Chain A
Amino acid sequence: MTIRATMGALLLAGTALCAPATWAQEVQRGGTLNFTAPYGSSVGTLDVTASAEVQTEIVAHAMHRSLYKWNPETGKPEPDLFTDVTVSDDGLVYTYKLRTDAVFHNDKPFTADDVIYSYNRIATPATASPSANFISRIQGFDDVQGGSATEMSGLKKIDDHTLEITFTASQDPGFDLMQNYVPIYPSNVEGDTQATQPVGLGPFRFVEHVPGSRVSFERFDGFFGENDQPYLDRLNILIMGEAAARDVAFRNQEIDVSVLGSQQYQEYQADPALSEGLLEVAELFTRVVGFDTTRPPFDDKRVRQAVNYGIDKDLIIDRLVKGKAFPAVGFMPTTSPAFDPDAQGYAYDPEKAKALLEEAGHADGIDLPVIANQNESWGAPIVEAIIPMLDKANIRVSVEPVENAVLEDRITGGNFTAFIWSLSSGPDPLNILRCFYSKTAQSACNYTNFSNPEVDRLYEAAQQERDEAKRNDLIRQADGIIREEAPYWFFNYNKAVMAYQPWVHGLRGNPQELAIQDYDKIWIDDTAPADRKPQ
């Protein structure tokens, strides 16, 4: 059987993605939305520059804005806090015309100083900000990190609303600077207070954080958005890590949206009422089992291919993941611009797996210990399912369940034979290809210690290529080699699913992370429960 990622899947995702937005219904203003933050039972800090947690990002996106913003429909960054940009010929100097109508929640007008302040704050080693990676291409970053400067030389204020940024590489800075993790903070507020009393220039103003329970916001009247957005008067982000509890709460109409796991996806699809309110999107995540390609017997390509042939991933996706994933062909996901629609993935062929293994000199079989966390769609349960399958191909799989903290430490530290994980595979394909570049450290993201001269050559070429189509072509070629080399068992591309109540409108399928929604575009109609509906 050939796995062919059809454009159909893409289109399907596309329509679902637009469905709620295209309802031709008069927008209603006001009301309260009960959104959920599903990735854990608390939000650590409200200062998103001190965090790498999606939970914090979900909260931060309500009140902060970054220089660029992500457009889920085009899959590209677009201007948010600036209206115009000119790029120098070498592609290193960007001159931004900043918005003049943006105001912070504390009434301070937005100026170039705020951008300079915010980026320098992130770059300062004292803050140890995990967001630093995103601004590391700004000139002078290394000097600030090294302590020889306190401000990055690449940030230059021309006037209040003109900002010049010099980068050290010619890559599009939009992908980095659109991140919610590099928000623009007001320069007249002490950075430390952002953790408890956040001030931004986003559509909602912070009201209250009940740790472990919820974060509440109210409409910020001064927001610069079009159509006098946001529509909602109030926004509650309820912290609900336990999926079973979220399920009950959603059915009970206590929450307006819920992110679904595969079990609930299946149940909600089967329910005539609930199936009406499902938003699906192909997310830019690739789920894989990664091998340490320097460690025998997995230093042999044939052994890695044998694993790929030995697993019936369609069956696992169909039965265990319950259709909440797209079978993976290679590393680049279907929604990536570098995805190759003609490529063929590994088909399920246990005989071929056995043959490859014998060819590699392992007729009596091999052991495959996999470290895994508890995640239902890219953790121990998946490994459990491949145990009987690979058993037939003479590969003895075992699971070592570990906590997330340990999993991540061991993967970045190279302390594994194989691991199962979900890896970001977007939105910038070039940035993703970097993870297969032999000069990228294992701890950075070349987890499998992948090294292939041809891929290195293609990556270096793509880096220099300014034309987007040609660049994507190079990346596509590299993805083909990676598929053949199989440093991973390519499992699936995530299908994220969000359930929403019938009165909720304006959700968009964000393939970066479905749970990150543009709250300013969401509105609810008056069929909502009395305590939340617009007056």
Chain B
Amino acid sequence: MRLPFRFNLTLGLALVTLVILGAVFAPLLTPHDPILDADLMNSEMAPSWDHWFGTDSQGRDVFARVLYGARVSLTIGIVAQAINSTIGIALGLSAGYWGGWWDDTVNGLTNLMLAIPSLVFALAIMAVLGPGVVSLLIALGLTNWSWSCRITRSAVMSLKSQGYVQAARTLGYGDIRIMLTQLLPNIVGPVLVMATLGIGEAVLAEAALSFLGLGIRPPAPSWGNMLTDAREAIRSVPWATIFPGLAVFVTVLGFNLLGDGVRDWLDPRMQVRA
């Protein structure tokens, strides 16, 4: 049975939109403050009309924390990946275009970054910088650009010999201008797909680092530290772990499906098959 629409793309887009809307309109969606509305008398209350997702061990509203946590997690995911993509594209473009010793250098750097597992690298950076959003952005933004770089570089290598690039060069366009106006638009597709997947990875990495004790600073809510804090209470206070867990799941699933969907969409071959 064939589905009548692009299932992955649609579902992914829907999930991601849901999460983004939740993050943006958090103050409108819940009357509770995620940090200061802490009443220990109301701790660990089951979901109710007042507290849709219940309350956590500090008596804070889990729904509010999931919503505001979306801001933190999405910021970390998107900004960290934006840093990664920017570094990857800049290095990949210039290396592929100029070649020579610069290419060799970038290549060596890429291989180096690939060889050190990004979580290990991020862990080390977090240990140096200490917990916090900015540290996380640096730790996750500097450790995962090698793929975007590789893809960009190989795309540029095959593109730069093509007619229109040659034409631009004979027209006397500068190197930077050629890279930005002639090459960049042609590699945006695959890099976008990589970035979508990378956002999901960054959200997960934040959770993993929180588990290892190197996440963001409490009491600010992030899904990673909500999960980590409540993991021992999984049987008696399940709502404190299940909802942030679901939030991570939905978000990462959404970005993954979106990435897959965009890839299928950009590559029509994937759709038309015997």
Q: Does B38 count as interface, using CB distance less than 8 angstroms?
A: yes
CB distance from A310 to the nearest CB of B (A): 14
- Cβ contact of B36, chosen from A318, A381, A388, A401, cutoff 8 A: A388
Contact between A384 and B235, CB atoms less than 8 A apart: no
Q: Does A43 contact B (CB under 8 A)?
A: no
Is A391 positioned at the interface, with any CB of B under 8 Å from its CB? Answer: yes
Contacting pair A264 B130 (CB below 8 A): no
B94 on interface, CB distance cutoff 8 Å: no
Check if B40 sits within 8 Å of A406, measured CB to CB.
Answer: no
Q: Is the CB of A401 within 8 A of B131?
A: yes
Interface code B6-30, partner A: CB below 8 Å = 1, 0 otherwise? 0000000000000000000000000
Known contacts A244-B231, A374-B213: A399-B36 contact under CB 8 Å: no
CA distance A376 to B43 in the complex (A): 15
Contact between B35 and A387, CB atoms less than 8 A apart: yes
Number of B interface residues, CB 8 Å? 27
**Is the pair B38, A388 in contact by a Cβ cutoff of 8 Å?**
yes
The answer to whether B219 and A387 touch across the interface, beta carbons within 8 angstroms, is yes
Contact A384 B40 (CB under 8 A): no
Q: Which residue of B lies closest to A382 (CB)?
A: B58
Kindly state the separation between the CA atoms of A399 and B57 in the bound complex, as whole angstroms.
Answer: 17
Q: Is A385 an interface residue (CB 8 A)?
A: yes
A248-273 vs B: 1/0 string, CB under 8 Å?
00000000000001011011001000
* B233 touches A (CB below 8 Å): yes
Q: Is A387 a contact of B38 with CB atoms below 8 Å?
A: yes
Complex Cα spacing A412 to B250, Å: 44
B22 CB, min distance to chain A CBs, angstroms:
23
Q: Contact: A316 with B236, CB < 8 Å?
A: no
Complex CA gap A244/B57 in Å reads: 16
List the A side residues contacting B270 at CB < 8 Å.
Answer: none
Which residues of chain B from 223 to 274 have a CB within 8 Å of any chain A CB?
Answer: 229, 231-236
Q: Does A366 contact B (CB under 8 A)?
A: no
Least CB distance, A414 to chain B, in whole angstroms: 18
Contact across chains for B43 and A320 when beta carbons are under 8 A apart? yes
**A244 touching B232 in the complex, CB below 8 Å, given contacts A319-B40, A384-B219, A385-B40:** yes
Q: Contacts A315-B41, A387-B35 given: A381-B58 contact, CB under 8 Å?
A: yes
Closest B residue to A246 by beta carbon equals: B232
A528 to chain B, nearest CB (A): 25
Residues A403 and B213 in contact, CB atoms below 8 Å apart: yes
Known: A402-B131, A403-B127. Contact between A384 and B232, CB under 8 A? no
A247 near B: Cβ within 8 Å?
yes
Additional A-B contacts beyond A263-B236, A267-B233, A384-B58 (8; CB < 8 A): A319-B57, A383-B218, A384-B38, A384-B218, A384-B219, A385-B40, A388-B38, A388-B39
Give chain A residues whose Cβ lies under 8 Å from the Cβ of B234: 244
Say if the beta carbon of B214 comes within 8 Å of chain A. yes
Q: Answer whether residue A243 sits at the interface, using C-beta atoms and an 8 A cutoff.
A: yes
Given contacts A263-B233, A387-B219, contact A320 B35 (CB under 8 A): no
The answer to whether A267 touches B236 (Cβ under 8 A) is: yes
Knowing A244-B231, A244-B232, A266-B236 are in contact, say whether A400-B130 is a contact too (CB < 8 A): yes
B169 at the interface (CB under 8 A from A): no
Binding site for A on B (CB under 8 A): 35-41, 43-44, 57-59, 127, 130-131, 213-214, 217-219, 229, 231-236
Q: Which residues of B sit under 8 angstroms from A357, Cβ to Cβ?
A: none
Q: Are A391 and B217 in contact (CB under 8 A)?
A: no
Complex Cα distance, B127 from A387, in Å, reads 25
Contact of A403 with B43 in the complex, beta carbons under 8 Å: no
A380: interface (CB < 8 Å): yes
Q: Indicate whether A247 sits within 8 Å of B232 (C-beta atoms), given known contacts A320-B57, A402-B131, A406-B130.
A: yes
Q: How far is the CA of A385 from the CA of B36 in the complex (A)?
A: 9
Q: Enumerate chain A residues within 8 angstroms of B217, measured Cβ to Cβ.
A: 399-401
Contacts of A373 in B (CB 8 A): 213
From residue A317, how far is it (CB to closest CB) to chain B in Å? 10
**Choice from B36, B39, B41, B43 contacting A391 with Cβ under 8 Å:** B36
Name the B residues within 8 Å of A402 (CB-CB): 130-131
Bound state CA distance, A402 and B132, in angstroms? 10
Which chain B residue shows the least CB distance to A312?
B40
Contact B232 A243 (CB under 8 A): yes
Q: Which of A388, A391, A403 has the most CB of B within 10 A?
A: A388
Closest beta carbon of chain B to A398's beta carbon, Å: 8
Q: List 25 A-B contacts (CB under 8 A).
A: A244-B232, A244-B234, A263-B233, A263-B236, A264-B232, A267-B233, A270-B236, A319-B40, A381-B57, A381-B229, A383-B218, A384-B38, A384-B218, A384-B219, A385-B40, A387-B35, A387-B36, A387-B219, A388-B37, A391-B36, A400-B217, A401-B130, A401-B218, A402-B130, A403-B213
CB distance from A267 to the nearest CB of B (A): 5
Q: Looking at the complex, which one of A312, A318, A385 makes contact with B58 (CB distance below 8 Å)?
A: A385
Which residues of A366-381 have CB atoms within 8 Å of chain B's CB atoms? 373-374, 376, 380-381
Residues of B within 8 A of A383 (CB): 218
Report the bound CA distance from A381 to B218 in whole Å: 8
Please indicate the chain B residues that have their CB under 8 angstroms from the CB of A266 in the complex: 236
Given A387-B36, A402-B130, A406-B130: A319 touches B41 (CB 8 Å cut-off): yes
A497 to B234, CA, bound (A): 20
CB distance from B263 to the nearest CB of A (A): 37
